[in-house]
Structure formats: C-alpha cells, structure tokens
Structure 1
Amino acid sequence: MNARTEPAEAETEPDAPARPPLVRELLLVAGLFLVYKFGRQLATGHTAEAFGNARHVWHLERWLHLPGEGAVQSLLLHGDVLVHVANTYYATVHFPATAGFLVWLYLRRPVHYVWSRRVLAAVTGAALVLHLAFPLAPPRMLGATGLVDTARVYGPSVYGPPRTDSLSNQFAAMPSLHFGWALMVAIGLIAATRSRWRWLWLLHPLLTLLVIVGTANHYWLDVLVASALLGLALALIRVPRRARATAPPPGPPRWAREPRPAERRRLVGAGR
C-alpha cells in the first residue's frame, strides 16, 4: 500500500514557495509607491542646484568622451512618426510594463516575484536618496546641450512646466529608474523562464535606453548609475534557484519487484 501512495506524494513539490498574501502585497507595493512619490516631491524646488549639477554632468560626460546624446536624438528627429512613438513609449510603457511583470511573477513564479520585488524596492529606495542628495535637471532643460524637448514639441508629454507640475519631480534625472526598472524586468524574466527566446526581453531595456536618451530626458550617466545600483542590489539579494518539478522516485527494477497477480498466473501456467 505504501509503494502505491509514495509516487502520488512525490508529485507534489515540497520546496515550492507559498504565494505571498495578495492584500498584503498590494498594500506593500502601494505603500512603496506612495513613499517614493512623496520623497520625490521633497526634492522639488532646488532649481539652481539642479541646473548646476546638470552642467557638471554634461561636462563630465564630455571629459569621459561619452557619445553625445544628440547623436541618438538625431535618429528620432528624422520623422515626426518616429519621435512621436518614442515619446509615447516613454509616457506609457514604464509603469504598466513593470506592473505587468510583477503580476505575472506573482501568479506564475512566486519565488521570483519576492526576489524581484525586493530588488526593485532596493533600487528605488537608493534612487530616492540620490534624488534628494543630487537634484539634476534633465538634458532637455539645459540649453548648453542643444537638445530638443521632443515631448513638448511633438507630444505626448507627461510633464507640465516645472514650476506648476505638482505630480512629478522633474529634477530627479539621476539615476534613471526608467532604465533601471526596464533592465530588472528583463533580468527577472530571463531568470524566471526557460524559453530559448527569453533573451529577447533585453530589447525592452535597450529600447528604453534609446528612448530616454533620444527624448532628452536622461543623460548617459543616469543610465550608468542606475545600472550600478541594480548590479549592487542583485549582488546583495540572491537570485532564487529555478523551481524544479519533482519527478516520482524510480521504482525497484523489474527483476526485484514481486510479480503481480496476472504475471504470477502466467508464470505458473508456463510451468515455472
């Protein structure tokens, strides 16, 4: 009797993680988002400091011989349709893609969900500290860059005039959470899935990189700092091992098991 019940018990996966309570997770994610939005608002009003830091970042990039952001923007400005698509991508993909990523992990890969949520929270918290300590005007506001504010000129735009925009802090360019979150979405999906096509998820941070730089919303250094913060978070928060389906343990070899009744009758009939 025990031999018959053991395989059925082995089909369950004892190491499978329990899915976190949904209400608790919704409250936690909403709380983190509200803290982040409130923290960004604390950084508003440092206009002179933000523009001074922007000039320092721009000159530092030239000293480091980083490629000019204008080279990427010139590709977008070849046609109104392309630049409009880039502005739309910037305005509409960031939050829905990250939310969809977390929802899918919560439903299908709970252990990877917990890991990804912790990494995103760590990166976002570190970014908030930098936003408070180092307010930075984006390149679209800095006349020395010669860049076009594509969202304002071609639309759509998610920002209003900085003095009257009460929903966002436009002086929080460094680090770029647009890129940091997009890169974590790709890394999380690559880690949580096994398809040979999963590496195509890297197209999301690549497109995000081209969009945020081409629309003059971020500097190259914003992207590098976001990547460094994400790398540090990934080094400190261990990636979970893939959940492996547990196969039933192999039974005894045929020669070692007791013959079944039908086999016993056949053997007796054969004169054994």
Structure 2
Amino acid sequence: MSLKDPNIVKRIKRVAIVIANSTLSTTTGWPVGFWWSELTHPYYEFTEKGYQVEIFSPDGGKCEADAMSDPNDASGYSSSDLISQGFIHTEKLRSLVDNTKPIADLNIDEFDALVVAGGQAPMFSFEHATALQDKFVAFYESGKITAALCHGVAILRYVKGSTGEYLVKGKTVTGFANVEEDFADNAVWEYGLLSRDKHVMPWRIEDELKKMGANFVQAGLWRGFAIRHGNLITGQQNFSGAETAKAIIEALGE
C-alpha cells in the first residue's frame, strides 16, 4: 500500500479560536480585552498535536490584551507565563493577533472545533456580538466541538438553540467562578482601585448561568479545570487553557 493512499493519510484537524476585541469597562472605565494565556496555551496544545489554528474576533482586526495577562506588565501578575512570552515575541504569531479575521467570515465546514477565549472584554461586549452568537449556535448544532473559556463563557448568557431554549439550560458547565470574582473584587478594593460599592464585573457568570438552568460546577480558586457536556466544553478561568484544549483534543479522538 502506498503511503500516499488517501485511506491512510491522517486529516489535519482545524480549530478556530475567538478572542475579544478591545472595549471599555462600564464598571471601572478601564480598557479591557482578551487574556493572553487563554489564547496562547490552547494554541500551544493544538499546534503540538499538529492542528491548524486560525484566530478570529467578533469584529476582526487588531485585538488588545488585558494588561495583567501580559508577562511583561509591570504588575508581574503573569510574569511566569513563558508560553505567552514566547508567543508575544514570535513575530509570526503576534501578527495573528494584529490581524484577526471577523467571525462572520468563519466557515463552519472548514473547522473541527470552536473555542471562545476570555479576558475582561467579553463581559461587556458579547451581548451585542450577534455574529459570534449565531456562529456559536450554528457550530454547536452542527454537532461539532464548541467550547468557551473563563469569561468567554459569557457567550452562553446570550445564545439560544433552534428550539428557543437557552443553549446552556440543563448543561453541566464551568466558567469564571464566584470565588474568583470575590478574589478580584477584594484585590482592587485593597489597592484602592475601586470603591467598595463597585465591582470589577457587571454581572457574574456562575450566578447568571445557574438562573438559566445550568448545572454550574467549579474546582476551586484558580484551579485549572475544564468539563465536557456532549459537544459543549467549558473551562473555568485563565489557568484552564491547557485543560480546555486537552478536553477538546480528547473529544476529537486524538
């Protein structure tokens, strides 16, 4: 049998990762965007498996990351994130963030999995990202692996299936948990960045998805965690990028 026999040639898997366009927080007034590790860690896991990855955003074009997700930021919060550091300093990879494709251009037939990454921006912008909402539902209802990570799970607050029910109803999911929102609020209060009558986020993923009929689970403060329910995969927070990607790879049979 020839090595060129199409019956034994392995088809390359293709994954679309969606990152948020930058916007302004309505609660803090700060510029917000996507989170580096939620792009770079899944990208690393997928490309190590030989997958092809393309990066999209709701509007297309250049995207900006949340400052604290940059390992070079003065806060030092992400200074140990060597995967993101390597991505940022590899011109070919960094250019992918500067030239994202608009989600409206995504052809579902060309991809095996869709991943919506987080950061702070999704909490303020996904309500109006109707093209992303439509693609997410269409991808899910096509039976393909459809995933969201951290605050990217905010997309589930807005998407309904063809039955008219919220997609998340009756699903076991995770996302940025209340215990982590509490930690973030306390941190900005302690440093005097916000008054104690204000919160970093305008609403909470755990609370809202529970109200919508989801079975929300989480693994504890800053624990890497992802869970699968059918062809829907969700990851808890910014330390869960690798776990989310590995769950997708397992679901794809690789």
- TM-score computed with the length of structure 2 as normaliser: 0.27
Higher helix proportion (structure 1 or 2): 1
Bigger relative contact order, structure 1 or 2, given CA contacts below 8 A and separation 6+? 1
Higher strand proportion (structure 1 or 2): 2
